[in-house]
Amino acid sequence: MPETTQKGTKSSSFHPALAVPNIRNHVTVTLGLDNDQYRLWVALFTNHAKSTRVLHHIIDPNGKAPKPSTGDDQELWETIDATVLQWIYATVTNDLLETVVEEDSTTMDCWNRIRDIFLDNQHSRAVTLEQEFSHVSMDDFPNAYASCQRLKNLADQLKNVGSPVTDTRLVLQMVSGLSIAYHGV
């Protein structure tokens, strides 16, 4: 219901977050425990949160999103928070969803649980990815393109956990993993 503000203009309780019919159109990455797209997912999600004026539901310098005290404002805040929480749920895999869902959780609680999962394990994930990157061989793939794509994907994941791979190292690993048919290269 619109109400008149001090300047005499009409305000509405309608919020731009409530107009998002499909979050997957804006956050096109599915975050999972088995992929390291956390930084990309965060970048897409926070950009969308800024554009719909809900960033304070996921990131707050004080660590707690302020809840309004009046009834109507509190109801709208809870509706928007539930909407943003649903966005998170819709952009993560089922395995991750089972890990982060908690009853009566706010969006910020869920956001922080996801952050902790991905950033607290950064070093161990880097070791695992590094091991896999170092052992990529073309013999394990149907063609050279698939092998190169896997190396690129692993290099991107290593970058996301704070262990970037140089282009030179990427090329050297690609060459060292070539099958016997390419040994003349």
Dihedrals φ, ψ of 130, to 5°?
Answer: -60, -40
pLDDT in tens, 50-98: 999 999 999 876 656 567 777 788 888 999 999 999 999 999 999 999 9
Give residue for tokens 């970048």.
Answer: 43
- pTM of the shown model: 0.65
Structure tokens at 159: 């970058």
Residue 78 Cα to chain centre, angstroms? 23
Contact residues for 54 (Cβ-Cβ < 8 A; gap 6+)? 15, 17, 80, 83, 84
- Residue 62: both structure tokens together: 């004080």
